[in-house]
Homo-oligomer: A and B are copies of this chain.
Amino acid sequence: MSGRPPTIEDVRAAARRIAPHVHRTPVATSATLDRELGARIFFKCENLQKVGAFKARGAVNAVLSLDDREAARGVITHSSGNHAQALAYAAGLCGAPCTIVMPDSASSIKVEAVRAYGARIVFCKRAERESVCERLRREQDSILIHPFEHPPLIAGQGTAALELLEQVGPLDAVVAPVGGGGLLAGTAVASRSLCPRAAVLGAEPAAADDAARSLATGILEPAVADPQTLADGLLTGLGRINFDILRECGVRVVTVDEEEIVRAGRFVLERMKLVVEPSAATVLAAVRREAGELRGRRVGAILSGGNTDFAWLR
Q: Which residues of A contact B (CB under 8 A)?
A: 26, 28, 31, 45, 47-48, 50, 52, 269-270, 272-276, 306, 310
Contact = CB atoms under 8 A, between A and B. Distances in A.
A274 B268 CA distance: 11
Contacts of A270: 275
Contact of A48 (B50, B269, B273, B276): B273
Contacts of A274: 48, 273-275
Nearest to A29: B23
B52 A273 contact: yes
A28 B28 CA distance: 13
Contact of A275 (B26, B31, B48, B275): B275
Contacts of A52: 273
A33 to B, nearest CB: 13
A297 B31 CA distance: 37
Nearest to A53: B273
Contacts of A45: 26
A310 B314 CA distance: 10
Nearest to A116: B32
Nearest to A276: B273
Contact of A306 (B26, B47, B50, B273): B273
Contacts of A276: 273
A94 to B, nearest CB: 16
Nearest to A46: B273
Contacts of A28: 48
Nearest to A303: B273
Nearest to A273: B306
A273 B47 contact: yes
Contact of A26 (B26, B269, B310): B26
A229 to B, nearest CB: 21
A45 B310 CA distance: 21
A28 B23 CA distance: 9
Given A26-B48, A48-B274, A273-B275, 17 more contacts: A26-B26, A26-B45, A28-B48, A31-B50, A47-B273, A48-B272, A48-B273, A52-B273, A269-B275, A270-B275, A273-B274, A273-B276, A273-B306, A274-B274, A274-B275, A275-B275, A310-B310
A54 to B, nearest CB: 13
17 contacts: A26-B26, A28-B48, A31-B50, A47-B273, A48-B272, A48-B273, A48-B274, A52-B273, A269-B275, A270-B275, A273-B274, A273-B276, A273-B306, A274-B274, A274-B275, A275-B275, A310-B310
